[in-house]
């Protein structure tokens, strides 16, 4: 996807969108209804925007951990947690797996190379040992 060291803030989610169209077909993930870093400089805005799009597309609410934010900074993780969303940290930027775990990510991945692992991280019923956090 992207070589380490060539990260530019705000561009990582756009790369995830392209990845999602190729890599997650057949897994029930629709990344076209998401929100991406190039759409707002304020990360917390992205959770609400993604929820609005998902509701419009599917006619259902996607509150709590039914919304998943995949990001590579502690600010991404904080935005997810503040909105009650599931936080999946990906250590493809300048922050380590330990940094993202310390920020409170539900799951932390080294990268997005393993589609099965990404799907398991994003879909709670496929993540071994996953327990929802208390409200």
Percent of the chain with pLDDT over 90: 41
Fold for 12-125, please state it.
Answer: Rossmann fold (3.40.50)
Task: Give the residue among 4, 7, 31, 5 at the shortest CA–CA distance from 118.
Answer: 31
Q: Which two tokens stand for residue 53?
A: 């799009």
DSSP structure string for 25-86: TTTT--GGGS--GGG-S-HHHHHHHHHHHHHHHHSS---GGGSEEEESSHHHHHHHHHTT-E
Instruction: Provide the residue ranges of all domains of the chain, joining segments of one domain with +.
Output: 12-125
How far apart (Å, rounded) are the C-alpha atoms in residues 76 and 40? Answer: 12
Residue 14 tokens read as 């756009």
Q: What is the pLDDT of residues 20-33, one digit of tens each?
A: 444 555 666 777 78
Least confident of 26-30, 54-58, 92-96: 26-30
Q: Which of 27-36, 38-47, 74-83, 126-135 has the highest mean pLDDT?
A: 74-83
Residue 41's pLDDT is 87
């Amino acid at each position: 996807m992207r070589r380490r060291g060539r990260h530019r803030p705000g561009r990582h989610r756009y790369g995830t969108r392209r990845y999602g169209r190729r890599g997650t077909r057949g897994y029930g993930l629709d990344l076209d209804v998401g929100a991406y870093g190039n759409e707002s400089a304020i990360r917390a805005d992205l959770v609400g925007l993604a929820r609005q799009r998902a509701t419009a597309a599917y006619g259902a609410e996607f509150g709590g951990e039914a919304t998943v934010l995949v990001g590579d900074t502690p600010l991404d993780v904080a935005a997810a947690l503040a909105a009650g969303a599931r936080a999946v940290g990906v250590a493809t930027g300048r922050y380590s797996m330990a940094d993202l775990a310390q920020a409170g990510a539900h799951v932390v991945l080294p990268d997005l190379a393993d589609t099965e692992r990404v799907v398991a991280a994003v879909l709670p019923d496929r993540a071994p040992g996953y327990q929802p956090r208390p409200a």
